[in-house]
Structure 1
Amino acid sequence: MSVRLVAGTAGVVAGVVATCSRTALAHAGSLSGSLRPVSVPLWLVLVSGGGVVGVSFLLTSLVTDHEAIRSLNARRVAIPSVADTRTLVRSILRWLAVAALFGVVSVGFLGPTEPLRNLAVLVVWVGWWAGYTMSTYLLADTWPVVNPWRTAAEALPVESRPLPARFGGWVSVLGLLLLVWLEVVSPVSENPRWLAVVVVCYSTVTVAGAAVYGDPWFDRVDPVARVFRLYGRLAPVQRTGDGYALSFPGAALARRPTPMDEADVAFVVALLWVTTYDGLVSTVPWNGVVRAAGRVGVPPLLTHLVTVFVGFAVLFGAYRLAASLARRTADTYVTSGFIAGWFVPSLLPIAAGYHLAHFLGFFLGLAPALVVVALDPLAPPYALPTLALPGGFGTLQLAFVVAGHLLAVWVAHARSFELFPGRLQPIRSQYPLVVLAICYTVSSLWIVAQPFAAPIR
């Protein structure tokens, strides 16, 4: 069966499922009370969890032509550019980003205390963590150019040193989990003054670390740079030795010639987990758990903090178990650690799909408020405009989730044929990973289908 036929059939499956659906309430990521829940199809939640992932695996399994798979992922179209213009644009963007960082800190301290009227809160959570992050996997990773902390570090006259081994990738895993905890449930997310303090502290540590250790700090330690770099491998525009090229989304992940090490595997799993955690803590059932813990003396913030680490540990253990089982189903001498590192890039489209589903409505809904507050950041109006999303937006959200899973199945399929010989061994290697994907999808989309409730703090 041809690649085009498989892709087309998968699209029809998703479309039929979306058409034959009834609705339930779901939440979209937001500052507390800033957006209303949107409706999503309940039937699509159930079918997407098992049917779509399973059917997409069966369909891609019919594509066993190594050369066809490789040629599809290798297709690139060069993007012409003028070197002088590119250098000028890069310089302008770098210093604009530095100015924006100073502006965020200043407005955070001096602007209004109401979160929706403070430009720092809107820029950080709406413009940057939601809008800009989406651009890194939908278009291209521009963070190496606009990263204000890199620009500031390069301006300091400090001699670089080798990065110590203790500053490995696990530090960035810890940083990512803590940052998401701060974003989702701590007072920092809606308190402009606290947000400004956190930005100053993070900036100080990052600039100092990058000034002393150079680019390896952003490669291994800084969680923000690692998030954007990994999401950027999913984007259609990729940097090459000759400039930039356009390729199929996710093709760069399929082409990766080496496995990721254990710390990289942990970071990708953490990136996937935090998208689920972001939704879990904003559901009515989870609020019940937090209240029950509070009755026995456990503070809500501590419950949320423990949850972010325990949930990561469970998902990381489940993925390592799936990789170990894949070694058996593939009947190979390749180690389970190698298999875990080889297939973990296929989790990135899932993480991006959930991020897009969770934050697109958030970004669109609050973008008008961001623009209005930016016009007068120190004295913005009290009545701020927001965009009301159409009733069918929930279906679009679920389509993003399904699309992420479909692309993940394709990436895993392509990588399996690069690792294992023949036609059956690559397919058998994916069985445990597909089961894990189905279980993860069912649980995550159950979370999406729950009524929205502001996290208890």
Structure 2
Amino acid sequence: MAVDGTTLAHGIGGAQDLPISPELAIAGAVAALTVSFTVLAVAWRTPRYDARTSGRPAPPWLDALVASPGFRIALRVLGFVLFLYTVMVAVLGQDRTTNPFFGIFYVWWWVGLVPASLLLGPVWRAISPVRTINAAFARISGGDPEEGMFRYPERLGHWPAAVGLFAFVWLELVYPFSTELGPVRLWCAVYVAVMLIGGALFGNVFYERADPFEVYSDLVAKLSPWAVREGRLVVLSPLANLASVVPRPGLVGVTAVLFGSTAFDSFRDSGTWLRFLQGNDLIRENSMFGVETAATIANNLALLTFCVGVGVIFAAATMATGGVENRRTLPDRFAHSIVPIVVGYIVAHYLTYFVEQGQQTLILASDPFGDGSNYLGTADLQINYWLSYHPTLLANTKVLAVVIGHVLGVIAAHDRAIALLPRRHQLTRQLPLLFAMVGFTAGGLFLLFAA
């Protein structure tokens, strides 16, 4: 998607000219993981993270602010105002890439959820317009938004959220008309409709389990230093907070879609994949579908392969650890360890995109109808390309984000393993998961530099 001559597409943009040797970065990352595991094996022999007992109370003034009804109402109002603005530009705005709707949808909403949730906690839960609309409907009908007509099936877990997340990344990364107003507007309308129907049927638990954006935000928020325990705001270690993720069915599916789609986003811009699409005889000579359609089918299969592949590899590695009566429960019980890896790749993959295109969206938002207006006073701002002008810093930041994410993932997995596995097999049975982590690290960094 182009905005004023600037390409608005995900990816780190020119990764091959980053001033770091890919081989050196990959070797260093693998060494960091291996050393981390070795140190943990020697010095970390008992579980240390328990969100039920970790942390300390937040400052009283902050706890009182967060717990106050006025603060919560203000967040609801803020979320709904943003929602109404987005609806306005989606319905009345021009079908051009300069419509701020695309930036709000792809940049502020999708990518922005990560830094917002890391810094502030479960942001989408607090500002979600579908929760607000559901609460309004419940109040009008005299019902309770917490209670629906039926009980949410436990076996569904987070699977609906995983499907919703895959639908989003498919629209963003594969669908050939992802920058046309009609299809994206329809996707949003379907999302809102499904969420409102689900809330009416199952109450707010539906949003906790099935809303793709709330599940995504809540998972990332588990790496924030904020948590609410027994009605009080507490400050605690992000890894202790992460340990409180509830292992529900579909949790591996959610993390696999988030991780796999980000990896595919790098892969689809790699020279290897582009040469395959351009030089493959089957695609070039496909007379039934046409070249573009055949390439789209190939991208669909590749996206699905990445997401399913991550899930299968992780599930196989965790189930290989054994040590419990039902091995099928292990993937979801370890899935929280993928969250730091996902966040690391989001930072590495979308940092420049978010900073620069986020500014572009703010500029365009002041002139939503393309008529020269300046409603927000931001139309005359200029994009700051400071990050792009410092490639060494940018490259180091991206690699560091990936490595830190994987190291934190290893720590979270190790802490969970020593809590679950028999004492005499606590280290040896972690090796399959360590090998999977090393593979994810090497593969992720390779794709980061290949894009």
TM-score of the two chains, using structure 2 as the length reference: 0.83
What is the Cα-based RMSD across aligned positions, in Å? 2.8
SS at match of 1:195: helix
**Cross-structure match for 2:425:** 425
Are 1:161 and 2:153 an aligned pair?
A: no
Structure 1 pair 425–132 and aligned structure 2 pair: CA distance change class (3 A) = same
Structure 1 pair 426–300 and aligned structure 2 pair: CA distance change class (3 A) = same
Are 1:146 and 2:156 an aligned pair?
A: no
Are 1:228 and 2:217 an aligned pair?
A: yes
Structure 1 pair 34–255 and aligned structure 2 pair: CA distance change class (3 A) = closer
| Separation (CA, whole Å) in 1 of partners of 2:214 and 2:67 | 25
Q: Which runs of 5+ in 2 are unaligned?
A: 1-5, 373-378
| Separation (CA, whole Å) in 2 of partners of 1:450 and 1:171 | 32
**Cross-structure match for 1:265:** 252
Which of 280, 283, 305 does residue 294 from structure 1 map onto? 283
Cα offsets for 1:124-155 (capped at 9, x unmatched): 22222112322213441122110111111111
SS at match of 2:112: helix
The offset of 1:63, in angstroms, is 1.7
**Cross-structure match for 1:134:** 115
Cα pair 1:254 1:412 within 8 Å, conserved: no
1:188-337 residue pairs with structure 2 within 5 A? Answer: 189-255=178-244, 260-291=247-278, 292=280, 294-295=283-284, 296=286, 297=289, 299-327=294-322, 332-337=323-328
Cα pair 1:350 1:404 within 8 Å, conserved: yes
Structure 1 pair 40–228 and aligned structure 2 pair: CA distance change class (3 A) = farther
| Separation (CA, whole Å) in 2 of partners of 1:273 and 1:343 | 17
**Cross-structure match for 1:172:** 161
Cα offsets for 1:239-286 (capped at 9, x unmatched): 222322111222222355x6x244222222222222212222222222
SS at match of 2:382: coil
Structure 1 pair 153–336 and aligned structure 2 pair: CA distance change class (3 A) = same
The offset of 1:107, in angstroms, is 0.8
When structure 1 is superposed on structure 2, of 163-172 and 144-153 the one drifting more is: 163-172
Q: Which runs of 5+ in 1 are unaligned?
A: 1-28, 452-457
**Cross-structure match for 2:402:** 401
| Separation (CA, whole Å) in 1 of partners of 2:166 and 2:349 | 18
**Cross-structure match for 1:343:** 334
Structure 1 pair 171–111 and aligned structure 2 pair: CA distance change class (3 A) = same
Question: What amino acid is aligned across from residue 150 of structure 1 in structure 2?
Answer: R
Structure 1 pair 349–195 and aligned structure 2 pair: CA distance change class (3 A) = same
Cα pair 1:358 1:397 within 8 Å, conserved: yes
| Separation (CA, whole Å) in 2 of partners of 1:407 and 1:380 | 48
| Separation (CA, whole Å) in 2 of partners of 1:72 and 1:242 | 14
The offset of 1:311, in angstroms, is 2.4
Identity %: 22
When structure 1 is superposed on structure 2, of 347-356 and 48-57 the one drifting more is: 48-57
Are 1:88 and 2:80 an aligned pair?
A: no
**Cross-structure match for 2:8:** 31
Cα offsets for 1:369-388 (capped at 9, x unmatched): 22222222223769973332
Cα offsets for 1:358-399 (capped at 9, x unmatched): 122111112322222222222376997333222120110111
Structure 1 pair 66–56 and aligned structure 2 pair: CA distance change class (3 A) = same
When structure 1 is superposed on structure 2, of 316-325 and 187-196 the one drifting more is: 187-196
1:424-443 residue pairs with structure 2 within 5 A? Answer: 424-443=424-443
Count of aligned positions: 414
**Cross-structure match for 2:359:** 368
Are 1:124 and 2:115 an aligned pair?
A: no
| Separation (CA, whole Å) in 2 of partners of 1:71 and 1:263 | 23
Cα pair 1:234 1:252 within 8 Å, conserved: yes
Cα pair 1:326 1:433 within 8 Å, conserved: yes
SS at match of 1:201: helix
Structure 1 pair 380–436 and aligned structure 2 pair: CA distance change class (3 A) = farther
Cα offsets for 1:217-251 (capped at 9, x unmatched): 21332222211122222222112223221112222
TM-score of the two chains, using structure 1 as the length reference: 0.82
Question: What amino acid is aligned across from residue 105 of structure 1 in structure 2?
Answer: V
